[in-house]
Each structure stands twice: as C-alpha cells, then as structure tokens.
C-alpha cells in the first residue's frame, strides 16, 4: 500500500488566496479515482524552502492524502502538471510512501 501526499498552496505568488472550490475539486478528483481522500485544511501547514538564489520562501499549504495499491507514475506526473497549471506554481510537491496497514 502507498500513501500519496500532495502539498497545495493556499495563495498564489502574488498573495491572492485560491477559491475553496479549487481544493474541493482536488478532493473530488482523488476520491473518484482512489475511493477516498483526506485534506488537512483547518490549520494550514507552513513550508519554508530555499529558492535558487538562496532566499528562503514560505508557503502555507493544504495537505491532501490518498492511498493506493499501485503507484501509476505516468498518471501522477500528468496530474502534478495539471495541478501546477491550475495553482500557478513552478512545482507542486507530490510524494509517495510505502505504508503497512495495521
């Protein structure tokens, strides 16, 4: 089993907040494809990262999680690209971790 996590920004690079519907759409897409999804949206996570110029950047993000037996890397690459366009980002972090169900 694999846990897939997506880190989506609350704001674009100009500081404008994304509409709730954009996040609802992601949740719906993941639920339709994988049978369920969890969004940690009440208290946004804060991500600090260093850009190519060495400047520390900050993002407030919503974390989405879903689980799947098989990681379809081609599908995830396309979906990540879709999210990058939709959320106007250079890169959206999507990661997969092997998990053991207890």
Count: domains in the chain:
1
Residues 6+ apart with CB under 8 A from 82: none
Q: Which domain holds residue 16?
A: 2-98
What CATH number is attached to the domain comprising 70? 3.30.70.120
Q: What is this structure's pTM?
A: 0.82
pLDDT digits (tens, 9 = 90+) for 17-41: 899 999 999 999 999 999 999 998 7
């Amino acid at each position: 089993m694999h846990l897939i996590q997506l880190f989506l920004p609350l704001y674009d690079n100009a500081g404008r907040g994304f509409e709730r519907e954009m996040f609802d759409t992601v949740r719906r897409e993941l639920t339709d494809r994988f049978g369920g999804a969890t969004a940690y949206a009440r208290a946004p996570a804060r991500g600090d990262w260093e850009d190519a110029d060495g400047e520390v950047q900050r993002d407030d993000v919503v974390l989405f999680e879903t689980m799947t037996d098989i990681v379809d890397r081609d599908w995830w690459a396309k979906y990540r690209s879709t999210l990058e366009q939709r959320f106007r980002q250079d890169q959206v972090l999507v990661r997969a971790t092997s998990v053991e169900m207890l």
